[in-house]
């Protein structure tokens, strides 16, 4: 049996695509036996005003504080954000980071040229390698910026490439740029996440998969978080135990959750 189950990537109804309230999510997480969760509601720089992200983030932070009072010390609850596409406006991204005293910041890339999430792409019609080229270029810019805590779901477009049946697409040609990204993460004292959402989808593996986890470890990486990317309560904790086993296989003895923008280590049993 695995203990220390902490889900570091979840979305509440304060995200445009989230379903449940933070209070409801906490109740569900406790019923599932989780030690805690980080609520990481969206803040995408290319849609910040259109989606009223700043107002949503302030509400998310308030809801976390309210839930903490309700559940006390029996459940660990971190207030976080998933900051997307900071290269759109670095100044705005930094202001967003300091909107509240967040515990945890995931840095992510969800789009390339047209501001639309890869979810909306049809990879039966779109060249996946063009998308992956641009994605990894943008992920490199994010790694160079280095103002987040953990780099989110490396290899994210593969979730939808697999959904659209493109089993012919592989990532070997990106090994060099992924190496560059991982080196920057290690040098900057940041971490990467094991995003387990792919395990419950057509992709059938984590983002990133074991190959890049092992490479991160070889390069001196120490900080990993594990997150389900749940947008509804039923997915909370999904794949977290599998992510822990994968981390162990990659050579990690610990994984992390964040409080006050600092990693707290938990043993992988």
Give every CB contact of residue 12 below 8 A, 6+ residues apart in sequence: 18, 20, 21, 22, 25, 39, 41, 60, 63
Q: Does any domain span residue 141?
A: yes
Parallel, antiparallel or unpaired: strands 6-10 and 36-44: parallel
DSSP bridge partners of 77: 37
CATH number at residue 231: 3.20.20.140
Residue 1 pLDDT > 50, yes or no? no
What is the average per-residue pLDDT within 120-130?
94
Distance CA 162, CA 87 (A): 27
Q: What is the mean pLDDT of residues 107-119?
A: 90
Tokens of 39: 């609520």
Is the pLDDT score of 72 beyond 80? Answer: yes
Q: Which of 87-96, 112-121, 193-202 has the lowest mean pLDDT?
A: 112-121
- Tokens at residue 49, please? 């005003």
Q: Which residue has the tokens 């990879």?
A: 123
Going from the C-alpha of 25 to that of each of 201, 218, 237, the distances in angstroms are 21, 36, 11
Which residues lie below 8 Å from residue 45, measured CB to CB, with a gap of 6+?
83, 84, 85, 86, 87, 88, 89, 92, 93, 96
How many other β-carbons are positioned within 10 Å of the β-carbon of residue 151?
A: 26
Q: Compute the mean pLDDT over every residue in the chain, rounded to the nearest whole number.
A: 96
Tally Cβ neighbours within 10 Å of residue 269.
9
Range of the domain at 114: 6-267
The SS3 assignment for 208 reads: coil
List the one residue out of 201, 267, 248 whose CA is nearest residue 228: 201
For residue 192, the model assigns a pLDDT of: 99
Q: What is the pLDDT of residues 30-48, one digit of tens each?
A: 999 999 999 999 999 987 7
Reported pTM? 0.96
| Rounded Cα gap, residues 120 and 67, in angstroms | 34
The per-residue pLDDT for 195 is 99
CA distance 8 to 195: 9
User: What pLDDT sits at residue 50?
Assistant: 67
Q: Is 153 left (phi over 0), alpha (psi -120 to 50) or beta?
A: left
Residue pLDDT, tens place only, 215-269: 999 999 999 999 999 999 999 999 999 999 999 999 999 999 999 999 999 999 7
CB 85 within 8 A of CB 134: no
**Reported confidence tier of residue 28, pLDDT bands at 50, 70, 90:** very high
Segment 118-133 mean pLDDT: 94
Q: Is residue 20 part of a domain?
A: yes
In a domain, 78, yes or no: yes
Cα separation, 251 vs 44, whole angstroms? 33
Tally the domains of the chain: 1
Is 1 a domain residue?
no
């Amino acid at each position: 049996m695995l203990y220390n189950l902490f889900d570091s990537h979840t979305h509440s109804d304060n995200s445009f695509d989230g379903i449940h309230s933070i209070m409801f999510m906490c109740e569900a997480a406790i019923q599932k036996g989780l030690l805690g969760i980080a609520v990481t509601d969206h803040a995408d720089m290319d849609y910040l005003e259109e989606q009223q992200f700043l107002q949503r983030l302030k509400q998310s932070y308030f809801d976390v504080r309210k839930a903490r009072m309700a559940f006390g010390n029996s459940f660990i609850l971190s207030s976080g954000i998933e900051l997307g596409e900071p290269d759109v406006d670095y100044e705005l991204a930094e202001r967003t980071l300091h909107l509240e005293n967040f515990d945890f910041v995931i840095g992510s890339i969800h789009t390339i040229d047209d501001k639309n999430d890869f979810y909306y792409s049809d990879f039966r019609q779109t060249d996946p390698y063009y998308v992956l080229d641009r994605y990894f270029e943008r992920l490199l810019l994010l790694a160079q910026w280095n103002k987040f805590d953990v780099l989110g779901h490396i290899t994210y477009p593969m979730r939808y490439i697999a959904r659209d049946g493109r089993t012919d697409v592989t990532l070997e040609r990106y090994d060099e740029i992924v190496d560059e990204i991982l080196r920057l993460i290690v040098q900057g004292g940041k971490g990467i996440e094991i995003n387990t959402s792919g395990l419950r989808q057509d992709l059938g593996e984590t983002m990133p998969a074991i190959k890049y986890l092992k490479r991160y470890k070889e390069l001196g990486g120490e900080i990993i978080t594990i997150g389900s990317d749940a947008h509804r309560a039923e997915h909370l904790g999904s794949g977290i135990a599998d992510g822990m086993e994968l981390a162990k296989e990659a050579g990690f003895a610990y994984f992390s959750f964040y409080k006050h923008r600092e990693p707290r280590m938990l043993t992988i049993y």
